[in-house]
Amino acid sequence: MAHTNYVYRILHRPASHARALLNGIPIYDRIVTDNVAPIGPVTHWLVRGENTITVELSPSPRSPLTPDLGPHFEISVRLAEDLDRAVFTWDYPKSISALGLPIDLPLVGGGVLRIDDDLPDPVYRRGSREEFPAEGTVEQRAAVQELYDAFATRDAGRFESAMDLKVSEFERYYGPQPLSRAEAMKRMNEPWLMEPFDAHDLRFDRYVDGRVAYVRRASGKPAVRAQHRDEPTLGWGANFYMTRLDGRWRVFC
């Protein structure tokens, strides 16, 4: 892992629906009721050279707690080893007003982040370009069911096979994660009640000329979801990204 690592940081307060895309792939999509400031790794989305960051903002209700505060959204990319150092920042409304443009929503903004460091090439760039409908193909739906069934049956080998590309890619960028693997296996063996698999509710959003499929559900629920049998307040759910590599659709993020 002899490369620089980067993180994204977002500052988002109520009164806007914000969607941020990196190189054409959504990494953030939320309407918030409170101020939020998520931060997370982003190196696995970046490429050497130019990286396009796009922000789409549209109006949403203001928070009753801060009814006089209008929308604000900021996205920055920072060095993982020096979080005080931003290598890219885009701020609404500051970045728009600085250009003398109207700040009325909806709008689309953003910019270009140039990375001169050597970085691993993102795996989806090796994926094949595919055409597929929003409802997905038989092959795509089967890949999601494979992941669902592996977790539902507590089949560790099958689950590791379904997730091997995601795990290997994360480790390629961020180093070995033995504790994460152990935690995942421990978590899988808890008494989860899986929400019924519904292939008709699945949706596959197409990005980057079909190299990437984002898997979600039309109902708004996570693509795969479970609730703890003994602690009803505990649950988890996940949407995920897939690419078609070596002739089959595989989860990579």
Q: φ and ψ at 112, to 5 degrees?
A: -120, 130
pTM (2 d.p.): 0.91
Ranking 105-114, 155-164, 198-207 by mean pLDDT, the lowest is 155-164
pLDDT above 70 (res 230)? yes
Q: Which two tokens stand for residue 81?
A: 């080893």
Asked if 45 and 233 count as a contact pair (C-beta separation under 8 A), the reply is no
pLDDT above 60 (res 179)? no
| C-alpha dihedral (84, 87, 92, 97), degrees to nearest 10 | 120
